[in-house]
Amino acid sequence: MNRIYLIIFSLLITLSFVIGKSSACPPSGRPRCNIYGPRWIIAGQVVEFTSSSYDPDGGPIEEYQWRLIWCDDCTIVSGQNTEEMSCKFDTGCTAYVKLRVRDNEDMWSSWDYHKVYVMKVSLSGGGYICLGDRVPISLSVEAHDPDDAWFELDDPSDDDKIEVWDGQTEVELPAGWSVSGVPDTLDVKGISTSSGLNDVQLELLYINTAPRNPTVIDSDTVEFTVVEVDEVTICKPTGTDWAALSWEQVLLEGEPLRIKANITPSIPAGADFSIDVAARTSYTNPTGISVTLDELADGGSVLRGASSTSSLTDSHGGGPEFTSADNASGSGSNFNDSDQFDSDMSSPSRKQRGKARNGGNESASPPEGGVSKTFMQAAGVEYIEVIYNESEPTEKKDKNQIENQADSLYFSGHGNHATGGVVLYPSGSFSPSDVLGGQWDHDLGTVFFAACAVLDVDDLNGNYDDDGDDEKEVGPASLVFPGEKWAEKGPNYFMGYNYISPLDHWHGDPQFTAKIIHKWKSDSEHTTFDAWGYANKYYAASLDDRPYNACAIDARWSTKTYYYWKATKSGGEIVDRDWESYDF
């Protein structure tokens, strides 16, 4: 009997188990679904998922419902209600794809869940990098399998054109990090010029180390072109060709500073590339300014930029200043008088504003400008220098002259009575009409013309044939003489000659004109004009000697005063000289 009871009890337990299990399972006619698709997904890529759904009753599947959960930037691209679905995850995350299906009896399956790991690596930066310079790159990783993630940075081109730096430490490539060690930024330094565009690459790899063979899950690449600045050049202030400003030319007040840089390799038009060049002057602004060159030209082989010079020089102040220009052409000519002027004028409180000697000498100390029209228009200069990558192995620079007008200008050379012009080097002339638009009004107060005839007023000593009758006579006041033209150009005082001036080596003395200027400067007994007249008289060997052709003009007032050695003649010979004044 006990045996029968035991068998019945076991049957009841088994039956209760069967009844309980069947109540937890879907009805036999309920459809089933399973998701098939990738487990590792790269952010931003479209991926496909499919289903192996079926109806145990043999009926068709009428509807699919796909869903993406636990993700913010995710989208079903297509097939939301079909057997195959495409979707995209734009940011790294751990998410789920879920699916359920409905059969023709309107019965739904349970949801099936498929876990995905969305990962992303990105490099940003790249582009153009100048040889010797550094540019930053940014590294970004989104890893959701940190235990198995490894990140590697390498240069697939492997041509040693760049270096990678983390602060002051060079990063040897290939470099690798775990997810917590990836730096946010690194610097890339160009060390060798590119042979073409985008020939240098950096690649960041996302490697899953879980499999027996590590697998690259994602990667990103940036490209570089290492550009070399071959030279920088100060250009002429006008002209579409941006020609170089030669050393004997001076950048005048109000003119723009234009700079160009030759670069290798050439860069396509419209590319986002620029360099900064320092520009500074020797006196007014030795700290300088930065000029950006961002205009590509000449097929991408030249980079250009411009800036105002207003903060680089000042022609309207700076205390007492002087400059000199000497065109010592011809046998026996020398620079002694101009050098003496510079020496006598120099003092702790009086500053030299450059000098010009013949064609100029940039290598001289201090540098010498050329006796050019722009030097005479400027009437004083300082030196401007443009520098790229100063104190670096890739340093490039150019130097020129920029106007900083002096208070006193001394010119020594040849002059022409007919035009009032003085002769420039190696040719050409500078006449009153070349002083444009108040150019000598900035700071210039006194001008010396140690040159023949250019300060003559009314030919009061009858040195010229003024009326064309082949006879010398005192000039008619109706004519406009060269000294009158110069007197209208801005400076207050002019000193020079109304007829033939003494040569540098007059009477065989190479210091002759130097002695005159020194005598003028050291004269403490006479006024400025009188001192000039008497300094010349002191060295005259006779009453008809050239130093007696000295003259001066006081141009401060509307009625100007002319000073000269009036000649008294008897029988055609000069018998007396008097230093007289004459208003005009």
What is the amino acid identity at position 494? Answer: F
Q: Decide: 461 and 567 in contact? Cβ < 8 Å.
A: yes
Task: Return the minimum-mean-pLDDT range out of 126-140, 235-249, 371-385, 460-474.
Answer: 460-474
pLDDT of residue 16: 35
Q: What is the pLDDT of residues 366-376, one digit of tens each?
A: 789 999 999 99
CA angle 245, 249, 252 (to 5 degrees): 95
| The pLDDT of residue 19 is above 50 | no
**Tokens 């013949």 map to which residue?**
358
- For every residue of 191-206, DSSP letters joined together read -S--SSTT-EEEEEEE
- The residue with greater pLDDT, 508 or 146, is 508
Q: Provide the 8-state DSSP code for 549.
A: G
Q: Band of the pLDDT at 8, cuts 50, 70, 90?
A: very low
For residues 486 and 416, what is the distance between their CA atoms, to the nearest angstrom?
Answer: 13
pLDDT of residue 17: 32
Q: What is the pLDDT of residues 513-554, one digit of tens each?
A: 999 999 999 999 999 999 999 999 999 999 999 999 999 999
| The pLDDT of residue 447 is above 90 | yes
Coil, strand or helix at 139: strand
- In this prediction, residues 397-403 reach a mean pLDDT of 97
| The pLDDT of residue 461 is above 90 | yes
Q: What is the pLDDT of residues 155-189, one digit of tens each?
A: 998 788 999 999 999 999 999 999 889 999 999 99
| The pLDDT of residue 2 is above 60 | no
Q: What is the pLDDT of residues 312-357, one digit of tens each?
A: 998 787 789 999 999 998 889 999 999 999 999 999 989 999 999 9
Q: Decide: 250 and 403 in contact? Cβ < 8 Å.
A: yes
Specify the DSSP element, H or E, that contains 552: strand 550-554
| The pLDDT of residue 32 is above 90 | yes
> Of all residues in the chain, what percent carry a pLDDT higher than 90?
81
Task: Return the minimum-mean-pLDDT range out of 97-101, 119-123, 503-507.
Answer: 119-123
Q: Band of the pLDDT at 483, cuts 50, 70, 90?
A: very high
pLDDT of residue 9: 34
| The pLDDT of residue 476 is above 90 | no
For residues 172 and 223, what is the distance between their CA atoms, to the nearest angstrom?
Answer: 18
- In this prediction, residues 297-310 reach a mean pLDDT of 96
| φ, ψ of residue 522 in degrees (nearest 5) | -90, 0
The secondary structure of the chain in percent helix, strand, coil, rounded to multiples of 5, reads: 15, 40, 45
Nearest to 410 by CA among 533, 316, 495, 283: 495
| The pLDDT of residue 298 is above 70 | yes
Nearest to 380 by CA among 472, 457, 301, 447: 447
Q: Provide the 8-state DSSP code for 71.
A: -
| The pLDDT of residue 383 is above 90 | yes
Task: Return the minimum-mean-pLDDT range out of 21-35, 39-53, 120-134.
Answer: 21-35
For residues 579 and 452, what is the distance between their CA atoms, to the nearest angstrom?
Answer: 19
Nearest to 257 by CA among 241, 234, 280: 234
For residues 536 and 538, what is the distance between their CA atoms, to the nearest angstrom?
Answer: 5
Task: Return the minimum-mean-pLDDT range out of 131-145, 337-351, 386-400.
Answer: 131-145
| The pLDDT of residue 252 is above 80 | yes
The dihedral built from the CA positions of residue 455, 456, 461 and 462, taken in this order, carries a sign that is: positive
| φ, ψ of residue 450 in degrees (nearest 5) | -80, 65
Does the model's pTM come out above 0.85?
Answer: no
pLDDT of residue 28: 58
Task: Return the minimum-mean-pLDDT range out of 238-242, 427-431, 468-472.
Answer: 468-472
| The pLDDT of residue 10 is above 70 | no
Which residues are bridge partners to 544 per DSSP? none
Nearest to 180 by CA among 139, 221, 216, 212: 139
Q: Decide: 209 and 243 in contact? Cβ < 8 Å.
A: no
**Tokens 């390799």 map to which residue?**
265
Beta strands 429-430; 422-423: pairing state:
antiparallel
| The pLDDT of residue 13 is above 60 | no
pLDDT of residue 127: 93
| The pLDDT of residue 399 is above 90 | yes
Specify the DSSP element, H or E, that contains 340: helix 336-345
| φ, ψ of residue 580 in degrees (nearest 5) | -125, 165
Coil, strand or helix at 21: helix
CA angle 296, 300, 303 (to 5 degrees): 40
- What are the counts of helices (DSSP H) followed by strands (DSSP E) for the chain? 6, 35
For residues 461 and 452, what is the distance between their CA atoms, to the nearest angstrom?
Answer: 15
Starting at the edge strand found earlier in the chain, the sheet holding 321-326 runs 351-357, 321-326, 408-412, 446-450, 493-497, 550-554, 561-570, 573-583
Q: Provide the 8-state DSSP code for 248.
A: T
Nearest to 271 by CA among 283, 282, 263: 263
Residues 6+ apart with CB under 8 A from 463: 456, 472, 498, 499, 549
Token pair, residue 475, equals: 């000039």
pLDDT of residue 56: 92
| The pLDDT of residue 195 is above 50 | yes
Token pair, residue 167, equals: 């602060």
For residues 276 and 284, what is the distance between their CA atoms, to the nearest angstrom?
Answer: 21
For residues 95 and 100, what is the distance between their CA atoms, to the nearest angstrom?
Answer: 17
- In this prediction, residues 550-565 reach a mean pLDDT of 98
Token pair, residue 493, equals: 């005082």
Q: Which residues of 482-509 are buried (b: 16+ CB within 10 A; e: fewer)?
A: bbbbbbebbbbbbbbbbbebbbbbbeee
For residues 579 and 529, what is the distance between their CA atoms, to the nearest angstrom?
Answer: 10
CA angle 183, 186, 188 (to 5 degrees): 155
For residues 215 and 265, what is the distance between their CA atoms, to the nearest angstrom?
Answer: 37
Length of the chain: 584
